Amino acid sequence: MLRVSRLTDYATVVMTCIAAHPHDVLSTVQIADETRLELPTVSKLLKALGHAALVESFRGVNGGYRLARPASEISLAEIVEALEGPIGMTECGVAEGQCERESQCGVRGSWQRINHVLENALRAVSLADMLRPAPSRRIAVTLT
């Protein structure tokens, strides 16, 4: 199964929480309470998100966190990369020279195309988009 890690999922929850309060500086405790995540987990995530320059931190009595840029300017890909590193379905999709079979691999180009599509899809979704309710989708199934 292809999926992001639990911490990356939680990072999107933390980021949407902060994005929902664009004019406020939120404490780690406030974020943990609102997201119902454990305080140590929230602290760990905020540290990683801060290193990636996605959130700003403020010290002092009224200290806390806010987004480093507007939610519309932060892509889902940036959040994934902050926690997971470069986006890649396979090692060779991230960088050349990672696999000894690279020169004779018949599917490398296909995986690179798939990786490109996935990365573009994640870059096309902003944090602001994540705040909006998902549209209900009806799936038509035809049985023959």
Six-digit token pair at 116? 């490109």
The pLDDT of residue 111 is 82
Q: Each residue's pLDDT tens digit in the chain (144 positions)?
A: 568 899 999 999 999 999 999 999 999 999 999 999 999 999 999 999 999 999 999 998 888 999 999 999 999 999 999 999 988 877 776 667 677 777 778 787 788 888 889 999 999 999 999 998 766 666 565 555
- What's residue 136's pLDDT? 66
CB 38 within 8 A of CB 32: yes
Please report the pLDDT score of residue 144 as a whole number.
Answer: 52
Which H, E and C letters describe 69-129, residue by residue?
CCHHHCEHHHHHHHHHCCCCCCHHHHCCCCCCCHHHCCCHHHHHHHHHHHHHHHHHCEHHH
Domains annotated on the chain, with CATH: 6-131 (1.10.10.10)
Check residue 128 and give its pLDDT: 96
pLDDT value of position 52: 97
Cα–Cα distance, 30 to 39 (Å, whole number): 9
Closest to 124 measured CA to CA, from 72, 89, 75, 52: 75
Please give the model's pTM, rounded to 2 decimal places: 0.84
